[in-house]
Amino acid sequence: MTSVNKETPLVEVRNLKQYFPVRTGFIKTVPLKAVDDVSFSIMEGETLGLVGESGCGKTTVGRTLLQLYKPTGGQVLYRGEEITPGDSLNRFRKKAQIVFQDPYSSLNPRMTVGDIIAEPLDVHKLYKTKKEREERIQSLMELVGLSSEQSTRYAHEFSGGQRQRIGIARALASKPEFIVCDEPVSALDVSIQAQVINMLEDLQKRLGLTYLFIAHDLSVVKHISNRIAVMYLGHLIELASSVELHRDPLHPYTQSLLSAVPIPDPEKARKANRIVLGGEVPSPLNVPSGCPFRTRCKLAQDICKNQRPELKEWKPGHFVACHLA
């Protein structure tokens, strides 16, 4: 993990909301609250891990932050400036990129690898001559461990790990400062995952990058992240440093998540206290009143039903949204 500048956040999200209208009848629609009132900040040079089970809104946060979805509400600030349609959004898109989850569907099969990597260069007009464009493609391919001679080949000729390297090279083309890594290793073999994670860490040190690292594998997130934010049903429920969150999780959901992480030692695994949650995850179309986790929480009380807990700082740098923390 790199050292972190603790002055002004590079990226700040305030009360972000992302609702999608879902038709439930002939003319009736109801809002699906994929992200509901999420706030956090990311310091320059930091990696913030964002974790939670499938469908909790992690990917939607990343895409809404980058304005790939128009936010329903809230603000996104970059170096203290609010991102709005127009010039500020155009400048932001040069400085903020994304690495997608699926290395198979995120690359255009009809384009050569060179053209895929150069797409941000073409969109933002970041070169003056064709020679400069070619040199930039070659340097980017070498940066991510690919041979520049492969630039004329097509994506289907590469393995999954190589395709993800192509996606990372494309994200680096516009010389960004901030990258959203949307589960960048979940579709890869375990041995390849380690290579890609190590490469991302190396690139962060060499280029001074800042990451929002979205994943559901807590062991991967612990390895790469300075701080970790936990999401449940569109809400941020806990935020702390990576070490602190694993040492002393305060929210019952976080405790359950951490207890499910596989332990490689069979003796320790047998003695581990696995916290199994009851019930099913509620539908985001019908979120429970009060605390969104209360229908699966063994500690739930009347206050949990009637009042939604705010994300509060319970000890220095450790935030949790729970009445009973």
Residue with tokens 């699926």: 102
Average pLDDT taken over every residue of the chain? 91
Task: Strands of the chain (E only): list them.
Answer: 9-23, 29-43, 47-51, 73-78, 81-82, 96-99, 178-182, 210-214, 227-232, 235-241, 312-315, 318-320
Please tell me the predicted confidence (pLDDT) of residue 268.
72
Residue 304 has pLDDT above 70, yes or no: yes
Look at 184 and 264; give whichever has higher pLDDT.
184
147-176: pLDDT as tens digits: 989 999 999 999 999 999 999 999 999 999
Residue 152 phi, psi (nearest 5): -90, 0
Residue 279 DSSP one-character state: S
- The pair of three-digit structure tokens given for residue 219, joined into one six-digit string: 């062991």
pTM for the whole structure: 0.91
pLDDT at position 273? 76
pLDDT of residue 5 exceeding 60: no
Alpha carbon of residue 319 to chain centroid: 19
Question: 84 versus 237: which is more confidently predicted?
Answer: 237
Q: Are 258 and 218 in contact (CB under 8 A)?
A: yes
Instruction: Give the pLDDT score at 1.
Output: 52
Q: Are 167 and 199 in contact (CB under 8 A)?
A: no
Q: Angle at CA 53, nearest 5°, toward 158 and 233?
A: 130
Residue 267 has pLDDT above 80, yes or no: no
Q: Which residues does 253 contact at the CB level (< 8 Å), separation at least 6?
A: 230, 232, 237, 238, 277, 293, 296, 297
Residue matched to tokens 């207890």: 259
Domains of the chain: 9-320 (3.40.50.300)
Confidence of residue 179 (pLDDT cuts 50, 70, 90): very high
- Which DSSP string corresponds to 107-145? S-TTSBHHHHHHHHHHHHT--SSHHHHHHHHHHHHHHTT
